[in-house]
């Protein structure tokens, strides 16, 4: 069995747009680039098992997105609009010396990388999405599906002033509950050194004295995607042209079907928008299936690449 690749971190990429992204990597530059993109409330460490595996054959890179951990944390909410995060990834691929990447993404990272593949298909050699809904299907569900609106009500709570302070209270009790299941037994993966690393990432200073968690929460505040508030009309999604949302790169979608915020109904009709798709369902997996079954995730990705 091949030894796991050594992971290096405390590396920084200074992008032409002024953003500074911290990243971890495994493997050697010059090998094909694999870019691993985390979600909320995570950071590069979400992909530790994948870096160790794919650094054996690729140059595996996992950045902290802007607003998270050791990367730049702009103060303005508008700095977190999806187009700016997409541009960070476009520029990161170039700064690393590449013209294309295999892109693997989860949660908010997936939302960004669906858009990356739609807007810059030449940059994306292959796309792997884990529990992150396609933007057209998610927009439709948020507008018309009461069950999805209820499941996504937390997004409106996160958009409110002060949500970051509430998330951090009592030693990050609410953030821990997000990761381990509300009121359930602690998740086995979130313990010991891993828990300490997350607490350290959540404690990294914000911009100009702002709260450490403001950058991550600003992804929700800057996004047009959220369910209508009580008494508010649903967003008008009739102007969206479905043909504009067809992904033209080979794509693997992995879905933990016990995800309570992003239920498995979100993959219904996905083949209409991703004609080159392979769908792998994990019935017992939650939203955090990457942590729960890292070896299985690695096998699925490896099979897709080969």
Cα–Cα distance, 254 to 104 (Å, whole number): 11
DSSP string, 232-277: PPPP--TT--GGGG---S-EEEEEETT-SSS-GGGGTTGGGT-TTE
Dihedral sign for Cα atoms in the order 144, 146, 151, 154: positive
Which one of the listed residues 134, 220, 259, 291 is annotated catalytic? 220
**Which conformational region is residue 131 in: left (phi greater than 0), alpha (psi within -120 to 50 degrees), or beta?**
left
Which one of the listed residues 22, 80, 106, 107 is annotated catalytic? 107
From first CA to last CA, the distance across the chain in angstroms is: 18
220 noted as active-site residue? yes
Cis peptide before 41 (omega within 30 of 0): yes
107 noted as active-site residue? yes
Residue (of 209, 184, 206) closest to 288 by Cα position: 184
88 noted as active-site residue? no
Cα–Cα distance, 116 to 124 (Å, whole number): 8
Which residues are marked as active site? 107, 220, 287
């Amino acid at each position: 069995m091949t030894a796991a690749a050594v992971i290096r971190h405390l590396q920084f990429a200074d992008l032409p747009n002024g953003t500074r992204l911290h990243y971890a990597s495994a493997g050697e530059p010059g090998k094909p680039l694999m870019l691993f993109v985390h979600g909320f409330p995570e950071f590069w460490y979400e992909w530790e098992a994948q870096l160790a595996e794919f650094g054996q054959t690729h140059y595996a890179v996992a950045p902290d997105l802007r607003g998270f951990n050791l990367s730049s944390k702009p103060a303005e909410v508008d700095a977190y609009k999806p187009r700016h995060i997409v541009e960070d990834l476009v520029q990161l691929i170039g700064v690393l010396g590449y013209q294309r990447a295999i892109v693997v993404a989860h949660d908010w990272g997936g939302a960004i990388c669906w858009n990356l593949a739609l807007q810059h298909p030449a940059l994306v050699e292959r796309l792997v999405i884990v529990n992150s809904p396609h933007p057209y299907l998610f927009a439709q569900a948020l507008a018309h599906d009461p069950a999805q609106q209820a499941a996504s009500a937390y997004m409106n709570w996160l958009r409110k002033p002060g949500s970051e302070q509430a998330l951090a209270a009592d030693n990050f009790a609410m953030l821990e509950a997000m990761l381990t299941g509300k009121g359930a037994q602690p998740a086995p993966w979130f313990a010991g050194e891993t828990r300490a690393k997350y607490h350290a990432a959540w404690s990294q200073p914000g911009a100009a004295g702002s709260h450490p968690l403001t950058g991550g929460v600003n992804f929700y505040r800057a996004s047009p995607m959220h369910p209508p508030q009580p008494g508010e009309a649903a967003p008008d999604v009739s102007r969206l042209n479905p043909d504009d949302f067809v992904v033209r790169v080979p794509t693997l979608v992995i879905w933990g079907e016990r995800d309570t915020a992003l239920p498995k109904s979100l993959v219904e009709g996905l083949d209409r928008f991703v004609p080159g798709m392979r769908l792998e369902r994990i019935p017992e997996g939650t939203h955090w299936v990457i942590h729960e079954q890292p070896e299985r995730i690695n096998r699925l990705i490896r099979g897709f690449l080969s």
